[in-house]
Amino acid sequence: MRVSPLVDLSQYLPILIFLVIAAGLSAAFVFLPMGVAHLTGAHNPNAEKLSEYECGFPAFEDPRSQFDVRFYLLAMLFIIFDLEAAFLFPWAVSLDLTGWPGWITMMVFLFELAIGLAYAWKKGALEWE
């Protein structure tokens, strides 16, 4: 079963060309120096040469330090308001199709999230300190 596409995909062709060029350029920048160095340079590593002494000192600890749990709360609030903003786009363009019921729906939705925002504000979840 073949469904006729809803959108004209030829509009995306410039983006595809751009992606292909970007991928090709970044691959060239990564692999060309590696290839040139491999072909022209001498490659004979030894344990002393590869030790940290050549460029600093051994690491004291894992570079991945533990994050504060408050970042999680911020990311969670960000997701929710990000979704709210994403829902606003189809609502705004289809308002002449949905009319007043659609408008009231979105206002109720915004009110629900405004309650959440007020709660977060009151609890001090937006404060860092």
Cα distance between residue 27 and residue 87, in whole Å:
37
* Beta carbon of residue 86, minimum distance to other proteins (angstroms, whole number): 6
Q: Is 75 in the site for other proteins (CB under 8 A)?
A: yes
Cα distance between residue 94 and residue 87, in whole Å:
12
Per-residue binding string, other proteins, 81-120, x by CB under 8 A, is: -xxx-xx-xxxxxxx-xx--xx--xx-xx--xx-xx--xx
Cα distance between residue 123 and residue 112, in whole Å:
17
The DSSP 8-state label assigned to residue 67 in this structure reads P
What phi and psi, each to the nearest 5 degrees, are found at residue 12? -90, -5
Footprint of other proteins (CB under 8 A): 5-7, 9, 12-13, 16, 64-73, 75-80, 82-84, 86-87, 89-95, 97-98, 101-102, 105-106, 108-109, 112-113, 115-116, 119-120, 123-125, 129
